[in-house]
Structure formats: C-alpha cells, structure tokens
C-alpha cells in the first residue's frame, strides 16, 4: 500500500474544534511537523477536510 507524506503548514489556532481533532487524529501536533500515513479512503477523507492546513506528497 502506498504512503502519503503529510506536513502541517498552517496553524490550527482559531480553527474549529473538529479541525483540531482531525489534525490530532492524523498525527500532527506542531507546525512544520511531517508524518507518513497509509493511503486509505479514511485517511484521504481526513486530509481532505483540513487540506487548507496541509501539504501532501505521495511517497
């Protein structure tokens, strides 16, 4: 299964609580932090809901 490299590029300050929880579920806690996640439909949905805060690359 392929992986996605997800980097937080914008702050979650003053964002709705739902978006903050989604970022935490993806595994991101700090600015410019990068995580590699599986390329599953569930993860793609979470990434799509906070795409304006992220940079996503396929690994």
- Residues lower than pLDDT 70 in the chain: none
pLDDT at 1: 79
pLDDT tens sequence across 41-54: 999 999 999 999 99
- Contact call for residues 19 and 49 (beta carbons, < 8 A): yes
Q: Range of 19's domain?
A: 3-58
Quote the pTM value.
0.92
Looking up residue 43, the CATH number of its domain turns out to be: 3.30.1390.20
Provide the domain count of the chain. Answer: 1
Q: What is the mean pLDDT of the chain?
A: 97
């Amino acid at each position: 299964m392929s992986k996605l490299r997800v980097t937080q590029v914008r702050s979650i300050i003053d964002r709705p609580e739902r978006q903050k929880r989604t970022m935490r579920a993806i595994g991101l806690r700090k600015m410019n932090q990068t995580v590699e996640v599986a390329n599953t439909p569930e993860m793609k949905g979470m990434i799509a809901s906070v795409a304006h805060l992220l940079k996503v690359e396929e690994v």
